[in-house]
Amino acid sequence: MKFTIVGAGAIGSLFACILQSQHHQVHCWTRSRRAQIQREFHDRHGQLQTFTFTNRKTELIAQSDAVIVCVKAFQTAAAVADIAPYLDAQTPLILCHNGIGTHSAVMQQRPEQPLLFASTSQAALKQGETLYHTGVGPTFIGWLSHASHSSASHNHAPNNLASPNHASHTDATDEPSVISTLRDALNDAHFEPDILPKLWEKLAINCAINPLTALHNISNGQLAAPLYQETLKALCDEVSLVATAEGYPMAAEALLTRVKAVIQATAANHSSMHQDIHHQRRTEIDYISGYLVQRAYIHHIEVPANHTLWQAITQREQSYV
Ligand code: PAF
> pTM for the complete prediction?
0.89
Helix axes 10-21, 177-186, angle to 10 degrees: 90
Candidate from 97, 205, 313 with most ligand 1 atoms within 8 A of CB, to mutate: 205
Tell me the pLDDT band of 151, cut-offs 50, 70 and 90: very low
Check residue 155 and give its pLDDT. 29
Q: Which of 12, 72, 6 has its CA nearest to residue 285?
A: 72
pLDDT in tens, 194-249: 898 999 999 999 999 999 999 999 999 999 999 999 999 999 999 999 999 999 99
**137 CA closest ligand 1 atom index:** 7
Question: Residue 21 Cα, ligand 1 centroid: separation in angstroms?
Answer: 25
> 2-194 belongs to which CATH class?
alpha beta
Q: Residue ranges of the domains in the chain?
A: 2-194, 198-316
The residue whose CA is least distant from atom 9 of ligand 1 is: 271
Residue 168: its pLDDT value, please? 45
Alpha-carbon span 286 to 273, nearest angstrom = 12
What is the CA(155)–ligand 1 centre distance, in A? 30
| Multiple choice CATH, 198-316, 3.30.2290.10, 1.10.1040.10, 3.40.50.2000, 3.55.10.10 | 1.10.1040.10
Cβ(20) – ligand 1 distance below 6 Å: no
For residues 117 and 242, what is the distance between their CA atoms, to the nearest angstrom? 21
202 included as an active-site residue: yes
**Catalytic position from the list 2, 72, 202, 260:** 202
**Ligand 1 mean position, distance from CA 77 (Å):** 22
Residue ID of nearest Cα to ligand 1 atom 10: 271
DSSP string for residues in 186-240:
HSSEEE-S--HHHHHHHHHHHHHHHHHHHHHT--GGGGGSGGGHHHHHHHHHHHH
* Band of residue 163 on the pLDDT scale cut at 50, 70, 90: low
Residue 145 pLDDT class (50, 70, 90 cuts): low
**Ligand 1 center from residue 236 Cα (angstroms):** 16
Question: What would the pLDDT profile of 73-95 be if each residue is shown by its tens digit?
Answer: 999 999 999 999 999 999 999 99
Q: Evaluate the CA torsion angle 262, 268, 269, 270 in order and state its sign.
A: positive
Note whether 14 and 131 are within 8 A (CB).
yes
Q: Residue 270 and residue 209: Cα distance in Å, rounded?
A: 10
How does residue 147 score in pLDDT terms, banded at 50, 70 and 90? Answer: very low
